[in-house]
A and B are shown apart, each in its own frame.
Chain A
């Protein structure tokens, strides 16, 4: 059974940093592109980052470029999102998702990040 389990969320002050993790199991993690997608409270979905199978290529929207860094450890079947210079508008539930044929395939249960003083 495919499982994606996010962790590392919480309450953080504006301007501070937080690192999310996503533990994958039930599939060959190293064969899949991976992504982070977020959802602000009562809002829609927003793509945050994508990483290639080897980790050599990463992609971000302008809203997080230069502040967020996606990375992966294939030996540990783990995905990460380092979030720096956090803003109130980064408050959201963050999901990790596998990408299959460029489609968001399996999703984790999500982890809440609240940016507030």
Chain B
């Protein structure tokens, strides 16, 4: 199985600051079609997960452009610029290149 290693496990940030979350996979996430199926999700407190970014860098519908995703092969980063209060929650990376699909263990973002 592909192991997704997310760091840091938690972050505390002031409103307006920028943060980055890392996600590293144990195998390349490039699929046979040439695409990379690495995605980022946010689970706000008490809520269901919500898609933020799909295929490394594509913003989901309605997601503010303060969020951005970069990376390739096995090394990926989610950046949040100008953090807002509504950004708190647990961020997960997920890979759907290989079966079984797997998730990172999550990064909890707290607001100072």
Interface residues of A (CB under 8 A from B): 35, 37, 44-47, 50, 59-62, 95, 99-110
Contact = CB atoms under 8 A, between A and B. Distances in A.
Nearest to B39: A103
Contacts of A102: 37, 55, 96-97
Interface string B98-112: 011111111000000
Interface residues of B, number: 24
Q: Is the interface of B mostly helix, strand, loop or mixed?
A: loop
B103 A101 contact: no
Given A44-B103, A47-B103, A110-B48, 4 more contacts: A102-B97, A103-B54, A104-B39, A104-B94
Contact of B51 (A46, A95, A104): A104
B66 interface: no
Contacts of A59: 99-100
A99 B1 CA distance: 20
Q: Tell which of A103, A107, A110 has the most Cβ of chain B within 10 Å.
A: A103
Contact of A101 (B1, B41, B54, B105): B54
Nearest to B96: A102
A107 B100 contact: no
Q: Tell which of B51, B97, B105 has the most Cβ of chain A within 10 Å.
A: B51
Contacts of B106: 44-45
